[in-house]
């Protein structure tokens, strides 16, 4: 996330927002958080006084966020891509974003192919490396992916960063 060039980041801060915000460089001047679970939103708001950045925590679906090409979106869903509302997700296809999905039951390749289909892109090449990273080139964009095991839940995950060559 150090390489994020946008000044505005739309994201899912989750239950540990302070740790999460550390991953963004000081170039990021505004963070717009979304959370659809009221209990987690309460936790986020309870930590508000410890945050020294311009942050807003919003109750609701991140996929209802305004679409701005100059903003960066971190869709850290940590759920399978099948559970994401595709009709809402596709409107972000011209934006820069990263996204994290659980690959259980769906698999790594299918997760990538479904993402490309949602974004209305055609795969050109998918190169998998022994260290768990994957480079994806589509007819419109490039994506750098890292597959890993989530320690606490031992779930298989994939983190996908769009336009890694820009």
Residues making contact with ligand SAM (CB under 6 A): 12-16, 20, 34-37, 40, 61-63, 76-78
Helices (H), the chain: 17-21, 38-46, 86-89, 108-118
Indicate the residue among 40 and 108 with the shorter CB distance to ligand SAM. 40
Query: At closest approach, how far in Å is the CB of 30 from ligand SAM?
Result: 17
With b for 16 or more beta-carbon neighbours within 10 A and e for fewer, the 116-145 pattern comes to bebbebeeeebeeeeeeebebebeebbbbb
Q: Which is nearer to ligand SAM, 35 or 116 (CB)?
A: 35
Q: Which is nearer to ligand SAM, 47 or 123 (CB)?
A: 47
Query: Is-contact 56 9, C-beta < 8 A?
Result: no
Which C-beta is closer to ligand SAM: that of 35 or that of 111? 35
- Side-chain-facing half-sphere of 18: CA atoms under 13 Å: 9
CB of residue 142 vs ligand SAM: minimum separation in angstroms? 23
For residues 64 and 88, what is the distance between their CA atoms, to the nearest angstrom?
Answer: 7
Nearer to ligand SAM, 31 or 62 (CB): 62
Rounded CA gap, 33 and 13, in Å? 6
Please state the closest distance from residue 33 (CB atom) to ligand SAM, in A.
9
Considering the complex, what minimum distance in angstroms separates the CB of residue 99 from ligand SAM?
Answer: 11
Minimal distance in Å, beta carbon 51 to ligand SAM? 14
């Amino acid at each position: 996330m150090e390489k994020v060039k946008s000044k505005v980041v739309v994201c899912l801060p989750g239950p540990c927002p302070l740790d999460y915000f550390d991953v963004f460089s000081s170039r990021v001047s505004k963070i717009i958080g979304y959370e659809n679970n009221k209990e987690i939103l309460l936790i986020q708001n309870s930590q508000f006084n410890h945050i020294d950045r311009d942050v807003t925590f919003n109750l609701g679906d991140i996929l209802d966020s305004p679409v701005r090409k100059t903003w960066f979106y971190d869709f850290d869903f940590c759920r399978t891509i099948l559970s994401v509302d595709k009709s809402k997700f596709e409107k972000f296809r011209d934006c820069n974003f990263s996204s994290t999905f659980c690959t259980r039951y769906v698999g790594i390749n299918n997760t990538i192919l479904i993402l490309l289909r949602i974004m209305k892109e055609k795969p050109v090449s998918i190169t998998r490396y022994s260290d768990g990273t994957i480079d994806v080139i589509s007819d419109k964009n490039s994506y750098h992916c890292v597959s890993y095991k989530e320690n606490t839940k031992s779930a298989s995950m994939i983190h996908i960063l769009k336009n890694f060559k820009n």
